[in-house]
Amino acid sequence: MALIGDKEYFKGIGEIKFEGKDSDNPFAYKYYNPDQVVAGKTMREHFKFAVAYWHTFCGQGADPFGPGTQNFPWDEPSDAIDAAKAKADAAFEFITKLGVDYYCFHDFDLIQEGATFTESEKRISAIVDILKGKQAESGVKLLWGTANCFSNPRYMNGASTNPDFNVLARAGGQIKLALDATIALNGENYVFWGGREGYMSLLNTDLKRELDHMGRFLGMARDYARSQGFKGNFFIEPKPMEPMKHQYDFDSATVVGFLNQYGLQDDFKLNLEFNHATLASHTMQHEMEVAAAHGMLGSLDANRGDYQNGWDTDQFPNNITEITEAMITFLQAGGLQGGGVNFDAKIRRNSTDMDDVFHAHIGGIDIFARGLITADKILTSSSYESLRKKRYSSFDTGKGGDFENGKLDFKDLYEIAKENGELDLQSGKQELFENIINQYI
Ligand code: XLS
Ligand code: NI
Ligand code: NI
């Protein structure tokens, strides 16, 4: 195992390889075989798995009731640039051992924010130089970059939706630097998650004005990035709540409407997250179907929520039914538009061994592989698609066909209704559909 940095952080763990489902080796893939072709593409190409810098190399397990429990050796250096370099060494060691091709970051995951804007700008440019070298050495690529415009207290009332123009301008300055960093690192996409873009109370909020500001701001960011040669996609990541009581990017349907309203629909797509779907009282498959219906299924943040509470717990995915259903939509949509599958997930606070983060990612990667293989079998070998198609067969020919082709007017419907009289009931056959999913899992 060739090491990318000077020091080995994840000792005793080598490259994770595919060994198949009968292997008892916890450090091997049981289903993810990167070069195996499923539905015309290798699994590697389908998924473009990415490791999230913030959870895996920054989050130490702190929660509202106590501090972090995971002490990372790469946090030891006191100088910001030395610490960022050590973290990058650990990150690239982890990503290459895991055998995935991509990573994702927020600006200040990479390096601690400086005391001033100018100092932060210097720090970002220093870490970008380091990461350029790491990417070149390892072949690991940047799936997307983003800016953290939600943690710093200055953003407590929002970033682009802040009622104070100077905060909006500060967010613009910060996002310009994050876009520059993403472009310099050949990032394939850029994400906007509006962590504080919403309200805590409508009483002190001019909702219409805030939405107009956000629409204009995103258009300006796009125009800037395009002027710098950025060819990738912009993604909005919907989430209904947490931290705000209400977030403007509530769910897929809301964001699609917003993008169309503000003329952003040609450059922006959606980055959908499982746990955010749960918080919006949707399934992930629903969120993906809505995005796909508008040609906006961009990228996925893989994780899972807790079905017994209402928090963004960001657990690693392990629900095979949920993933299989999502993969059916994934395959039917022809995959993702420019994005990949990013593990926006964290190990539990009481998972404190250095190898726990390997088990977490191995499990997450394997459940996607298994879900994809299962979904492909459902679509190619079962009666699933023909049953679903049959429900709509009355639109294939005759008057139904005329309706779809715009050949009927409303009075024609009246004539047809009168002629038909009472109708036979057509069963939805939901239980049969559910059984097919279960049979193939
Ligand atoms: C938080 C979001 C965040 C985005 C990136 O809930 O999921 O992690 O993915 O800012
Ligand atoms: Ni996310
Ligand atoms: Ni989230």
Q: Would the CB of 344 count as within 6 Å of ligand 1?
A: yes
Q: How confident is the model at residue 438 (pLDDT cuts 50, 70, 90)?
A: very high
Q: Would the CB of 301 count as within 6 Å of ligand 1?
A: yes
* Interval between CA 276 and ligand 3 midpoint (Å): 6
**pLDDT tens per residue, range 393-436:** 999 999 999 999 999 999 999 999 999 999 999 999 999 999 99
For residues 371 and 395, membership in a common domain is answered with: no
The count of structural domains within the chain is 2
Give the Cα separation of 11 and 8 in Å (integer). 6
**Domain housing 424:** 385-440
Q: Quick one: pLDDT at residue 5? A: 54
* Interval between CA 237 and ligand 2 midpoint (Å): 7
Mode of pairing for the β-strands spanning 41-42 and 37-38: antiparallel
**Nearest CA to 149 among 196, 181, 218?**
196
Question: 308 burial class (0-12, 13-18, 19+ CB within 10 angstroms)?
Answer: exposed
Query: Residue 3: is its pLDDT beyond 50?
Result: no
Give the ligand with the smallest distance to the CA of 301: 2
For residues 304 and 396, membership in a common domain is answered with: no
For residues 398 and 376, membership in a common domain is answered with: no
* Interval between CA 193 and ligand 1 midpoint (Å): 6
Q: Quick one: pLDDT at residue 391? A: 98
**pLDDT tens per residue, range 204-229:** 999 999 999 999 999 999 999 999 99
Of 353, 381, 409, the residue at which a domain comes to its end is 381
State the closest ligand 1 atom to the C-alpha of 193, by its place in the atom list counted from 1: 10
DSSP alpha helices (H): ranges in 151-206? 165-184
Q: Quick one: pLDDT at residue 177? A: 98
Closest C-alpha to ligand 1, atom 3:
193
**pLDDT tens per residue, range 345-363:** 999 999 999 999 999 999 9
**pLDDT tens per residue, range 298-314:** 999 999 999 888 899 99
Q: Quick one: pLDDT at residue 247? A: 98
For residues 334 and 422, membership in a common domain is answered with: no
Q: Would the CB of 314 count as within 6 Å of ligand 1?
A: no
Phi/psi zone of residue 185: left (φ > 0), alpha (ψ -120 to 50 degrees), beta? Answer: alpha
Q: How confident is the model at residue 1 (pLDDT cuts 50, 70, 90)?
A: very low
Closest C-alpha to ligand 1, atom 6:
312
**pLDDT tens per residue, range 183-209:** 999 999 999 999 999 999 999 999 999
For residues 364 and 404, membership in a common domain is answered with: no
For residues 266 and 411, membership in a common domain is answered with: no
Percentage of the chain exceeding pLDDT 90 = 98
Q: What is the mean pLDDT of the chain?
A: 97
Give the ligand with the smallest distance to the CA of 305: 3
Give the ligand with the smallest distance to the CA of 314: 3
Query: Residue 253: is its pLDDT beyond 70?
Result: yes
For residues 106 and 240, membership in a common domain is answered with: yes
For residues 344 and 390, membership in a common domain is answered with: no
For residues 404 and 370, membership in a common domain is answered with: no
Contacts of 64 (CB under 8 A, 6+ apart): none
Q: Would the CB of 315 count as within 6 Å of ligand 1?
A: no
Give the Cα separation of 76 and 82 in Å (integer). 9
**pLDDT tens per residue, range 361-381:** 999 999 999 999 999 999 999
Query: Residue 86: is its pLDDT beyond 50?
Result: yes
Of 343, 361, 381, the residue at which a domain comes to its end is 381
**Nearest CA to 178 among 138, 157, 148?**
148
Give the Cα separation of 440 and 342 in Å (integer). 26
Average pLDDT over residues 22-38: 98
**pLDDT tens per residue, range 119-155:** 999 999 999 999 999 999 999 999 999 999 999 999 9
Which run of H or E residues covers position 133?
helix 117-138
Q: Quick one: pLDDT at residue 310? A: 85
DSSP string, 379-404: HHHSSHHHHHHHTTGGGTSHHHHHHH
For residues 190 and 229, membership in a common domain is answered with: yes
**Nearest CA to 105 among 224, 4, 191, 168?**
191
Provide the annotated active-site residues.
Answer: 106, 109
Query: What does each C-alpha distance from 350 to 73, 77, 202, 347 come to in angstroms?
Result: 18, 25, 38, 8
For residues 296 and 436, membership in a common domain is answered with: no
Is position 243 within any domain?
yes
Q: Would the CB of 197 count as within 6 Å of ligand 1?
A: no
Q: Would the CB of 289 count as within 6 Å of ligand 1?
A: no
Query: What does each C-alpha distance from 167 to 111, 162, 350 come to in angstroms?
Result: 22, 6, 37
CATH, residue 55: 3.20.20.150
For residues 374 and 391, membership in a common domain is answered with: no
